[in-house]
Structures are given as C-alpha cells and as structure tokens.
Amino acid sequence: MFRQKFISCFSFLMFILLLVSCREQRATHIWLVGDSTMAWKKPSRAPESGWGEGLKLYVTGRATVHNHAASGRSTKSFLDEGRWQVVQDSLETGDFVIIQFGHNDEKADERLHTVAFGTFKENLKTMINETRLKGATPIVCSSIVRRQFRLDGSLKDTHGDYIVAAREIATETQTPYIDLESLSRELVTKMGPLASQEIYNYTTRKQDSTHLNVNGAKVIAGLFVAQVKSDQLPLAKYFK
C-alpha cells in the first residue's frame, strides 16, 4: 500500500513538473495589429511588404510573431470587423501586442474615420486595456512616414494629430511608445528622394510612397528593434 501511494505521489509530482517545464519552454507570442504598412501581403503584390514581416527576421527561437495587421484598416474597422477580438481571445500571460494605426483613421470614409483626440485614442485605449486584462504587454507605435518630399528636401507631415494622439494615449496609459514616424522620417530624410525609393514600393509600374518593399520592411523593423533595445523594454530579450 505504501509503495503504491509513493508511486502515485511521485507520478503526480513528475506530471506537475512536466507541466511547469512545458510552460517555461513555451515560445512567447508577439501579436501585431495595424494597417498595410505593417501587414503581410499576397505574392501578387510583390515586392510590397509590411514591416511586421520584416520583424520576423529579428526574433529569436524563443518568440513567434503573429502578424494580424490588415491592409486598409483603421482602429475603428479593426474593432468593428472583429479582428481585434480574434487577437484578444488568443492572448496569454507574457505575450506582447504591438499596435500601430493612423494611416486609415485619417480618411474621410465613415467605415474608417476616427477623430484623433477622440475615437482614435479611445480605440487605442480599448486595445491597450484588453491586452493587459489577458496578462500581455501592449506597445504603441506611431505610423511610419510617407515618402512625400517638399522641394527643399524635407518631408511633409501627412499624419498630423494622429501621431500626437498615439503618443498621448501611450503616456496616459503608461504604455511603451515607439515613435516610428520620427525614426523613419530621420532615415528617409537622410536617404533623400532618390535613394529612399529603395525601401518603398517604388517600381517602374507603381510609384508608391506609402508602402514598403521587402527591403524596406526589414529596414523599418530594424529601427523598431533598435529602439526597443535602446529603451530596454522587456521585449528586447526576444530579438537577435
């Protein structure tokens, strides 16, 4: 009898240790929500890509990137279509959620439009709060810069209040903030009108100064990773 109880207790203990071990070895999940500048693209749209795809090149084997960013979406449509709910339902303690919107929130289309210091901030706050409810960590990013040069070589400000609003809600909710607009603006300005074509979806058949190409996706993701490391965010340990 004693032997049977000992074996049963030992087996139960080993089972618990196995569960703990599996939990510790579970890859951390990095969830991306945003618009086309971050999203995966169909092969038919090559060489266009989103920086969320470039991010996959920087992660270690301890993390998995899930790119749920979608072309043509704003914070409003992402919530209305249930896309955020899919991500929120999948979150587990220890995960990270990188949030980047703004390009389409600016548009007049009622299915997309949000007010920068109103519904835009409210929608971002919803995603931030619901991420934390699942024990995951949110990170807010500003939109990347559009490659629209003035005659003097400077870049136009096409995002306006949406950049300010993203920074504000990050500050108000004490959420890490990566200013990709500023980082990409500095890079593209330094590259200039001609060389910067090399990172945007700028081809002989399409002169696209909003979306990135495969090379640009990796470059912009590199800016994000470098800033995460510079800010010493917990996410940094999952990058090469």
Which is more confidently placed, 47 or 205? 47
212 SS3 class: strand
User: For the structural domain made of 28-238, what CATH number should be given?
Assistant: 3.40.50.1110
The residue extents of the domains of the chain are 28-238
For 154, which DSSP code? Answer: P
Which tens digit of pLDDT belongs to each residue from 208-228? 999 999 999 999 999 999 999
Strand partners, 188: none
pLDDT interval class at 204 (50, 70, 90): confident
Q: SS3 sequence, 46-81? A: CCEECHHHHHCCCECCCEEEEECCCCCCCHHHHHHC
* Long-range contacts of 189-194, Cβ-Cβ distance < 8 Å, separation of 24 or more: 189/153, 189/154, 189/155, 192/153, 193/147, 193/149, 193/153
DSSP 159: S
pTM: 0.89
Mean pLDDT of 179-187: 98
Handedness of CA 76, 78, 123, 165 (dihedral sign): negative
**Distance separating alpha carbons of residues 87 and 68, to the nearest angstrom:** 8
> At residue 105, does pLDDT exceed 80?
yes
Residue partners of 163: CB distance under 8 A and separation at least 6: 102, 142, 143, 179, 181
Overall average pLDDT of the 67-93 stretch = 98
- The number of residues making up the chain comes to 240
pLDDT one-digit tens code per residue, 124-148:
999 999 999 999 999 999 999 999 9
